[in-house]
Amino acid sequence: MNTLGDKIRELRLRKGITQIELAAGLCTPSMVSQIEANRARPSYKMLFGLAQKLETPLENLLKDIELDLEQASQYKMALSMTKAKAYGAAIPLLERLAESTLTKVSPFKVEFELAKCYMETGEYDKSSLLFNKIVDAASLRQENDWVAQVLLQLADLSNRKKEYQVAKHHGYRALEVMRSLDAQDPFLHAQILTQLASIHENIGEVKTASDLYEQALEISGGLLSMKEKAKTYLGLAESFYRQNDFEKASEFAERSYSALAELEDRHALLTWKQKLLMLQRSAGEWRETVNELIGIASTLQANQEQENAGVALLDAATVQYENGALAETEATLERAKQLLSPHHPAMGKLYRLQAGLYSSQGEQGQADKALEKAIRIFMNHVMLAELREAVNVRCEQLNQQGRIQEAFEQMKSLDGYLIDSLGKRGIAL
């Protein structure tokens, strides 16, 4: 196995640059020389800079190399990477530590961070296996603080996989275990409540979601980070909006944006701004809202974020449709369609809007087909709240046309889908 110095020297020579060129803007040429000779250990920040200059992913730089670091130092470096969201780069370090006989680092901590990295990189099966291993071991040792933390992560994992009933099961177990602790952690309590709120929101139980978000804010006090606080405020805003409580939705939307503005994260602010525009839209200023959303789409497109730009255009089309600008809606939808892949979850919303357009033009056959496409996409992506809404619209249309048996079959099909979906995820009804 090569050393880190060997790997850096090999990549530098392959790129055809000198030590002076590699060091420029990072450190001294002497430091590069010492690193390549394995006489100096670079910090995570310097490693990241070297990887950028060598035009290789950080995880590739660390792959199959021997790091002459103590266990505690390797763990600290891995933590630095996870904090910087370089999860792929942290995995090799954590995997090596997990396979070692650990003396200076807690095995639970190493496996916990490794499981989180697997989750963040989409390796859900590995993440689930490792989290379940940790929770079993922690339960045997009656370390309930660990049990609660891992159950919270399992709830997050299941929520990402859209296994919402499983996510609720893990979330409420985490809440129960956390409440059994002698010394309760208000920060962990707030995190569990926020996660449960997100799960309930995803399945359309918006009143429960908003109650949980409010409890999380009340319990956490000043413990939540600005980003977590902004996320919680935004969750509340979205929940109240879906309950048609527009005044509260607007209030929490403003709080969310103010909290996030302090972070100076331009990309996150752009995404938040898009959501807030939709939460605060009003009939009197709808054209200004549309122009701002189209501006966000243009910025995202310039940053090569095509699908995110498509979603922003869909929001603009929604506002146009709500205000009767049907020709403009059709044109904006066409632009959005060109940016979205055919199986993107947002295509369900696109077809739902198209169904409304066709219906307004008296083309009911085309409207029915578009709505059926929307329903299929919502099913494929387990978008339960959107699915229920679309099926209800379809059933109302069928009832108005006197096709009551078809409406019944459509609702029966939805029930069958929900039961089958839950059954596949191990939930017995």
The predicted-structure confidence for 392-408, as pLDDT tens digits, reads as follows: 777 777 677 777 776 66
Mean pLDDT of the chain: 82
Q: What is the pTM of this model?
A: 0.61
**Which of 146-150, 236-240, 296-300 bottoms out in mean pLDDT, i.e. has the lowest?**
236-240
pLDDT band with cut points at 50, 70 and 90 for residue 428: very low
Helices (H) and strands (E) in the chain, counts: 23, 2
Report how far residue 281's alpha carbon sits from residue 275's, in angstroms, rounded to the nearest whole number.
Answer: 10
**Which of 247-261, 262-276, 306-320 bottoms out in mean pLDDT, i.e. has the lowest?**
262-276
Half-sphere CA count of 96, side-chain side, radius 13 A: 20
- DSSP characters for 23-35? HTTTS-HHHHHHH
Instruction: Indicate the CATH number for domain 1-68.
Output: 1.10.260.40
Buried b (16+ CB within 10 A) or exposed e, 37-54: eeeebbebebbbbbbebb
Query: pLDDT over 70 for what percent of the chain?
Result: 87
pLDDT band with cut points at 50, 70 and 90 for residue 376: confident
Mean pLDDT value across residues 334-359: 91
pLDDT band with cut points at 50, 70 and 90 for residue 285: confident
Closest CA to 333 of 317, 320, 319, 355: 317
45-95 pLDDT, tens per residue? 788 888 888 888 877 777 766 655 567 777 888 888 888 788 888 898 888
The tokens describing 143, both together, are 């370390």
Beta carbons of 61 and 51 less than 8 angstroms apart? yes
pLDDT given for residue 427 in this prediction: 45
At 224, give phi and psi (nearest 5°): -70, 145
**Which of 4-13, 78-87, 216-225 bottoms out in mean pLDDT, i.e. has the lowest?**
216-225
3: β partners = 66
pLDDT band with cut points at 50, 70 and 90 for residue 176: very high
3-class DSSP assignment, residue 381: coil
Q: Is the pLDDT of residue 320 over 50?
A: yes
pLDDT given for residue 174 in this prediction: 94
Q: Is the pLDDT of residue 133 over 60?
A: yes
The tokens describing 341, both together, are 């892949």
